[in-house]
Chain A
Amino acid sequence: MTTTLTAPAEDERTAAVRASLRQVDRRRSRVDRIMQGLVYVAFALAMVPLVWVSWTVVAKGIDRFDVYFLTHSMRGVFGGMDAGGIYHAIVGTVEITLGATIISVPVGIMTAIYLVEYGTGHLARWVTFFVDVMTGIPSIVAGLFAYSLFVVVFGPDVRMGLMGSVALSVLMIPVVVRSTEEMLKLVPNELREASYALGVPKWLTILKVVLRTSVAGIVTGVMLAVARVIGETAPLLVTVGVIDSINFNLFEGRMMTLPVYVYGQYSKGFATCSESAIDCIRTINFDRAWAAALTLILIVMLLNLVARLISRYFAPKLRG
């Protein structure tokens, strides 16, 4: 305020500038505040199902979730018996998902390398198109595809964990291709040129510069793909089926998996307890289903944690 008094000779332009600097646009600040509020509300809304689901699963599953539950199968368990666990389902889920990952990761990464580093023209466009189509395949179709494929090769009575792996890899490959493709595109061309200029052949440049630079993002993408398929129920139900005992062999016989286990237990409903029974729990099937669901969530969280550690280790660093 003092400046305006001590500078009486200021011209109109200066006065106008000062006035416009002090002007407050009430409408803009109001819109700003409303929008900010909307963003917070949207965030809170998005958090509601997440927190709710986590809370429900933990609250209902924690009772049954113990070492006994994790280390025993359902062999010889019937009715409302206070026994039984998910060891056989954990074995199945881990082996089948691992099998699917072993099939999908090389195929997916190499397809992405083809699309980004080599592919030009019609073939690349068709591959991209089919990858997009594959992304939208319903999971039950993938299961039926794997089933019919194995029936053609091994005959109508075939049952093995590998069928589930193949079904899941049909769902996984497009996700791996897409995420890897995006990561490879992010690698600056300058790095490829720097490598070529040092007399490094193209395949070594891809292997040691392009893949090495993008490995953190690729690992994250693979983990997302794993998280997407590990909870699949339908394709596993039609391929690897249901079993109560432990089967370590991925190449022979039925296997149990966690999502199928949850579905199976829940669909059994309440157990029938006779008056005289001592260790009969009416809600046992639901309890087991919730505890198995909790285990599945914990496995996915653990995988995500491992993926984060791996990508942090491999990520390009500025400071050592």
Chain B
Amino acid sequence: MAQRIDVKDLDIYYGDFHAVADVSMTIDPRSVTAFIGPSGCGKSTFLRTLNRMHEVIPGARVEGTVAMEGVDLYGDDIDPVAVRRQVGMVFQRPNPFPTMSIQENVLAGVKLVNKRISKADAADLVEQSLVGANLWNEVKDRLDKPGAGLSGGQQQRLCIARAIAVKPDVLLMDEPCSALDPISTLAIEDLIAELKQSYTIVIVTHNMQQAARVSDRTAFFNIAGTGKPGRLIEMGDTGTMFSSPTEKATEDYISGRFG
């Protein structure tokens, strides 16, 4: 199910503001790619262009191409809704739907688009997704209870279950652990390691140790100064990036000398 993404010469603008400049990269299937960099360097913005979520913000536009298996996601005949069904997303703060039970939250991607699903199929999908998100054992006895009643870490795994229930090929994670305690963080990191068997995962993180632990490849973004666009400085295997980066800025950032 995992797919490869090629980004070429991508520029992102919010109105007149040039947010991210000239990014080209390849994201390998069945791997975890981590984006690191100081705040405001455009890594989250860039992540959101991978499933056209940045278009939610008025005035946002891109130039360049983002191609999934050769199909340009910004082509004229491409529906952003279709893109988002292939490229799922998990947000910084867990955001289960407050009016829905745990089960309804998992099925949200199916039910909200008025797709018909038999009771047996729905039950299978709920179990499969919750098992996939390592949450099944904790919630299997209270599937009809509100999703907002779970702990923060459980809510985040519920959101992951909800994202994989749509059966995407790629999963984008925007600082998925930054609102969680270390134990919940560990649970999510273990989950990421399992999920990469079947999905292409892209994760934005502020936590360098986390990038080192979970990712196969790391991309370092940086910004020259306020008002300047963010740029991709360097991208490589995580091991290489953390031991012997080619760029001075990367080394400074990773060793904690700035940022």
Return A198 CB to nearest CB of chain B, in Å: 4
| Cβ contact within 8 Å between B91 and A198 | no
| Cβ contact within 8 Å between A120 and B112 | no
Q: Determine chain A's interface SS by DSSP, over half rule.
A: helix
Q: Which of B69-77, B78-86, B122-130 lies at the interface with chain A? A: B78-86
A196/B98 contact (C-beta < 8 A), A204-B113, A204-B114, A208-B112 known: no
| Cβ contact within 8 Å between A198 and B53 | no
0 or 1 for each of A175-205: is its CB under 8 Å from B? (1 = yes): 0000000000000101111111111110011
Q: Name B112's closest neighbour in chain A (CB-CB).
A: A200
List residues of chain B with CB within 8 A of the CB of A201.
81, 113
Q: Which of A41-49, A164-172, A264-272, A311-319 lies at the interface with chain B? A: A311-319
List residues of chain A with CB within 8 A of the CB of B166.
198-199
| Cβ contact within 8 Å between A193 and B91 | yes
List residues of chain B with CB within 8 A of the CB of A193.
53, 56, 89, 91, 95
A320 within 8 A of partner (CB): yes
Q: Which of B142-150, B182-190, B246-254 lies at the interface with chain A? A: B142-150
**Total number of B residues with any Cβ neighbor in A under 8 Å:** 33
List residues of chain A with CB within 8 A of the CB of B88.
197-198
| Cβ contact within 8 Å between A196 and B53 | yes
A316/B53 contact (C-beta < 8 A), A195-B112, A200-B112 known: no
C-alpha spacing A297/B194, complex, angstroms: 63
Return A211 CB to nearest CB of chain B, in Å: 10
0 or 1 for each of A136-151: is its CB under 8 Å from B? (1 = yes): 0000000000000000
A197/B148 contact (C-beta < 8 A), A188-B95, A190-B93, A191-B97 known: no
List residues of chain A with CB within 8 A of the CB of B98.
191, 213, 316-317
| Cβ contact within 8 Å between A199 and B113 | yes
Q: How large is the interface on A (under 10, 10 to 19, 20 to 34, 35 or more residues)?
A: 20 to 34
C-alpha spacing A200/B114, complex, angstroms: 10
List residues of chain A with CB within 8 A of the CB of B93.
190
Q: Name B84's closest neighbour in chain A (CB-CB).
A: A199
List residues of chain A with CB within 8 A of the CB of B58.
120
| Cβ contact within 8 Å between B95 and A317 | no
C-alpha spacing A159/B169, complex, angstroms: 64
0 or 1 for each of A296-320: is its CB under 8 Å from B? (1 = yes): 0000000000000000001011111
* Chain B contact residues, CB within 8 Å of chain A: 51, 53, 56, 58, 81-82, 84-85, 88-89, 91, 93, 95-99, 101, 108-109, 112-114, 142, 144-146, 148-149, 159, 162-163, 166
